Amino acid sequence: MEQQPLQATPVRTELADGREILYFFDGGRVPSGFLPSSDTRELPARPTTSQLRYDALSGEWISFAAHRQTRTHLPAASQCPLCPTRTDMASEIPADTYDVVVFENRFPSFGPEQHAVDSPVELGAARPSHGRCEVISFGPGHTDSLASLGERRIRTVIEAWAHRTQELGRLEGVEQVFPFENRGADIGVTLHHPHGQLYAYPYATPRTENHLARAAAHRARTGNNIMADILDFEIADGRRILERGTHFTSFVPYASRMPVEVHLVPHRQVADLSELTEAERDELAAMYHRLLCTVDALYPTPTPYIAGWFQAPRNHEHRAEAWLHLQLTSPRRAENKLKYLAGSEAAMGAFIGDITPEASAKALRAATERLQSLTPAQ
């Protein structure tokens, strides 16, 4: 792929209710004459900020966003809010076409206000659910997927992720930015159009807290970073490696929880996507595209998945141990079978694997080989 320059400043405007919308473009350059249309819809006022309540038993914060009960749910293609606006349908994206668009979610789990809040952490504690939630639409085609859109578009998505990570991370009260994609009805998506989301949390998430606590304990015990040791361990073993690049390695982790689970990890420690170099972003676009195509090639029908970027929280005491990485998981354990979290997993967090990580890696490598056999020689 031709090297793509770092993203120029995106085109930024507002929707009818004041929500921000940003346009990103393949190649990093705004097309000549591009001008988004005005959003002429009559929209209701934005919802008030939700409430966070503290669960003293688990030590976790829970956001209650009751307005999300009314969000759009699997609309017909003719009414999709992520398709470009037409004369007969005004969508969330007031433009004839686009490459990648990011806008504030109309039904946010966090926000729309962002403020630092200092309140007691005790039984019965509550605070405003400050933060920000954004939608990222990967392209105008309703039946596309991130995989089908190709490497060049994924490169643009990476630029958008990096831009939003950096900008959202500067907002008052935001502690962690999480770019992710839920793909497929089996995962629970409410829109079929290819898209992802970005959550700007007002706290470090529970899994992040656990990861960093484990990393700090590993550092105290060994003197090493835990992700560096995991990379060395997986590469030395080799059985679960899917691809090794110059800057990234993808592998099925030794103790994966889900039937399909792949981690994509940079070879050097960076805190978040905004710290990746151009060369790293170029390789990431290529490797991520191959990974998504491989996951889809496991079975005759598209594979549902969740893909999320684990990035460093802003002010955590163990932030120095954080190492950017992607975790992609799917509950699909066979062509017509899904893994459901039953009593042991859902209640106790004690996972039981249906497929060994080595068998999963072998199946993914076989899918890659099938794809390569179908690709004409260059």
b (16+ CB within 10 A) / e for 24-42: bbbebeeeeeeebeebeee
Radius of gyration of the chain (CA): 21
The SS3 call for residue 177 is strand
Cα 280 to Cα 27: distance, rounded to the nearest angstrom: 16
Which of the residues 130, 163, 193, 195 is marked catalytic? Answer: 195
Neighbours of 241 (CB within 10 A): 16
And the tokens for 45?
């006022």
Cα dist. 21→97, 176, 259, 366 in Å?
14, 21, 37, 41
**Strand locations in 33-80 (E):** 51-55, 60-64
Q: Which residue type occupies 356?
A: T
Question: Using an 8 Å Cβ cutoff, are 371 and 297 in contact?
Answer: yes
Tokens of 160: 């958008």
For the chain, how far is it from start to end, CA to CA, in angstroms? 13
Distance CA 354, CA 339 (A): 8
Yes or no: say if 308 and 180 are a contact pair by the CB < 8 Å rule. Answer: yes
Q: Is 142 a catalytic residue?
A: no
Angle between helices 278-296 and 357-374 in degrees, nearest 10: 100
Q: Helix (H, G, I), strand (E, B), or coil: what is residue 222?
A: helix
Reported as type and span, the H/E element at residue 240 is: none
- Residue 194: is the preceding peptide bond cis (ω within 30°)? no
CA 111 to chain centroid, in Å, comes to 18
* One-character DSSP codes across 109-127: SS-S---------STT-EE
> Which phi and psi (to 5°) does residue 192 adopt?
-80, -25
Catalytic residue numbers, as ranges: 195
